[in-house]
Structure 1
């Protein structure tokens, strides 16, 4: 009964955090709710929750994956270079698949994921939306190179540091795809010179 009360309290807090934020920054709301959940689990040994750093990785991965899909869709619509359009299509396909895996994994672990991309990713999307043609292609390619370098570092760290074996397995499984994406976008970048 006590465990059910804590779970209900956590769910209520999470809903209030989401509602109060007005989805202004869904990633921050998810991080906050997961931290509260982990802190409650520490205080009550009968409650269980994923380590807050593991939950933070899941939230960041979900946020980044959603952004890749949205930016990939934008590339399919706005890119002048067919290789950039095709890369955007690959982002939509590969990251949609990874996003679905992360959603299922998070649900099974009780991790709250963001519903929308965070404000930083939204700024990138807004900036890219204002561009067209070769200007769009260059900005998108540059962003994808930088973004995938950062993602690879985060996922490499996750493969070493995550405590949850299922989240760690997700990072291990996803890392080669991220490296393949970086290699592909680097080749597109080099061909555009």
Structure 2
């Protein structure tokens, strides 16, 4: 079932917080420059996205959240115990799986069209797709 605009926006902010947290972790612990670079892109792009989501949230009376998703918290805990190539592989695997799920949700919301939240989702899709392509290019599978 499709999420309401308010639910979607709340989840999008948690997603932005999650990507910022994971991106910062990757810039600190990434074993390769490519993984650190992906981390920086996540931080920069999701800070911009969160600014936009926050502006929309106040218009729709959605509570601004600073929390991250349960999945991201679990990933952070696992990643903090890894380093070097092991960190990089686990980070990239998580990001690919997470981004594929996010893109599906954003496509569904964007398809509703015409309202500010679906328009926001539509605007963010190319950014998420760019992150997925970057992560896939780093995967060793």
DSSP-derived class of the 2:63 partner: coil
CA-to-aligned-CA distance 1:7-42 (integer Å, 9 cap, x gap): xxxxxxxxxxxxxxxxxxxxxxxxxxxxxxxxxxxx
Residue aligned with 1:58, SS:
helix
Q: 1 CA distance for matches of 2:69 and 2:23?
A: 16
Q: Distance in 2 between matches of 1:133 and 1:83?
A: 12
CA RMSD of aligned residues (A): 1.5
For structure 1, the residue ranges without an aligned partner over 5 or more in a row are 1-51
> How far apart, CA to CA, are the structure 2 residues paired with 1:113 and 1:121?
18
2:109 counterpart residue number: 158
Residue 174 (structure 1) aligned to one of 106, 124, 139: 124
CA distance, structure 2, for counterparts of residue 135 and residue 177 of structure 1: 26
Instruction: Name the SS for the 2:67 alignment partner.
Output: coil
TM-score normalised per structure 2: 0.92
Q: Which residue of 2 aligns with 1:184?
A: 134
Contact 2:30 2:88 in 1 (8 A): yes
Q: How does 1:42-61 map to 2 (within 5 A)?
A: 53-61=4-12
Structure 1 runs of 4+ aligned residues shifted over 4 Å read: none
The 2-side partners of 1:92 and 1:179 are apart by 15
Shift of 1:66: 0.6
Cα distance in 2 for residues equivalent to 1:70 and 1:161: 29
CA separation in 2, counterparts of 1:158 and 1:113?
20
Correspondence list, 1:1-193, <5 A: 53-161=4-112, 165-189=115-139, 192=140
State the structure with bigger RCO (CA 8 A, min sep 6), 1 or 2.
2
Name whichever of 174-183 and 109-118 sits farther off. Answer: 109-118
What SS class does the counterpart of residue 125 from structure 1 fall into?
helix
C-alpha distance in 2, partners of 1:118/1:142? 17
Which protein is bigger by CA-based radius of gyration? 1
C-alpha distance in 2 between matches for 1:84 and 1:119: 23
Aligned length: 139
Instruction: Tell me if the contact between 2:6 and 2:60 (Cα under 8 Å) persists in the aligned partners.
Output: no
- In structure 2, stretches of 5+ residues that fail to align are none
Deviation at 1:59, TM superposition (A): 1.1
